Amino acid sequence: MIKMKKINKIYGTGASKVEALKNIDLEVKENEFVGLIGPSGSGKSTLMNIIGCLDVPSSGEYYFGGESVENFNHNQLAEIRNEKIGFVFQNFNLLPYATAYENVEIPMIFMGVKAKKRKSMALELLDSVGLAARATHKPGELSGGEMQRVALARALANNPSLILADEPTGNLDTKSGDEILAIFENLWKQGHTLVVITHNPNISARAQRIVKLIDGTIENNGK
Partner 1 sequence: MKILYLFRLFYRELKTQEKRITLTIVALAWGTFSIVVLLSFGEGLNRQMMKSLHGLGEGICIVYGGQTSKPYKGLGKGRVIRLQEDDVELLKRRISGIGLISPENDRYRNNMTYGRKSLSERVIGVYPPFEDLRGYFPQRNGRFINDLDIKNKKRVVFLGTELKKRLFGEEEAVGKRILINRIPFLVIGVMMEKMQNSMYSGPDVDKAAIPFSTFQTIYGDKYLNRLIYKPKDISQSEIVKNDVYKLLSQKYKFDPTDKQALNFWDMIEEEKIMRNIFLGIEIFMGIIGGLTLVVAGVGVANIMYVSGKRRTKEIGIKMALGAKKRHVLLQFISEALIIAIIGGTAGLLLSFIVVELFKVLPLEGDAADILAHPVMSLKIMLLTAIILGVVGFLAGVFPARRAASSNPVEALRYE
Ligand X SMILES: Nc1ncnc2c1ncn2[C@@H]1O[C@H](COP(=O)(O)OP(=O)(O)OP(=O)(O)O)[C@@H](O)[C@H]1O
- Binding residues for ligand X, rule: CB under 6 A, are 11-12, 18, 20, 38, 40-46
- The percent helix, strand, coil of the chain (3-state, each to 5) is 40, 25, 35
Residue 42 vs 193, nearer CB to ligand X: 42
The residue count for binding partner 1 (CB under 8 A) is 28
Q: Residue 79: name its binding partner from ligand X, partner 1, Mg ion, none (Cβ under 5 to 8 Å by kind).
A: partner 1
Question: How far apart (Å, rounded) are the C-alpha atoms in residues 182 and 111?
Answer: 28
Would you count residue 81 as binding partner 1 (CB under 8 A)? Answer: yes
CB closer to Mg ion out of 91 and 120:
91
**Is residue 83 near partner 1 by the rule CB under 8 A?**
yes
Q: Which residue's CB is nearer to Mg ion, number 89 or number 188? A: 89
The residue (of 141 and 219) whose beta carbon lies closer to partner 1 is: 141
CB closer to partner 1, 64 vs 89: 89
**CA–CA distance from 161 to each of 4, 87, 182 (Å)?**
18, 11, 18
SS (H, E, C) 5-74: EEEEEEECCHHHCEEEEEEEEEEECCCCEEEEECCCCCCHHHHHHHHCCCCCCCEEEEEECCEEHHHCCH
**Smallest distance from partner 1 to CB 160, Å:** 10
Q: Is 45 in the site for Mg ion (CB under 5 A)?
A: yes
Min dist CB 212 to Mg ion, Å, is 14
Contact present, 87 and 155 (Cβ < 8 Å): yes
Give the pairing of strands 33-37 and 59-64.
unpaired
Q: Which does 107 bind (CB under 5 to 8 A by kind): ligand X, Mg ion, partner 1, none?
A: partner 1
CB of 69 to ligand X, least distance (A): 18
CA-wise closest residue to 193 among 27, 28, 32:
32
Residue 206 neighbours by CB under 8 Å, 6+ apart: 33, 181, 184, 185
Q: How far is the CB of 90 from Mg ion (least distance, A)?
A: 5
Binding of partner 1 at residue 97 (CB under 8 A)? yes
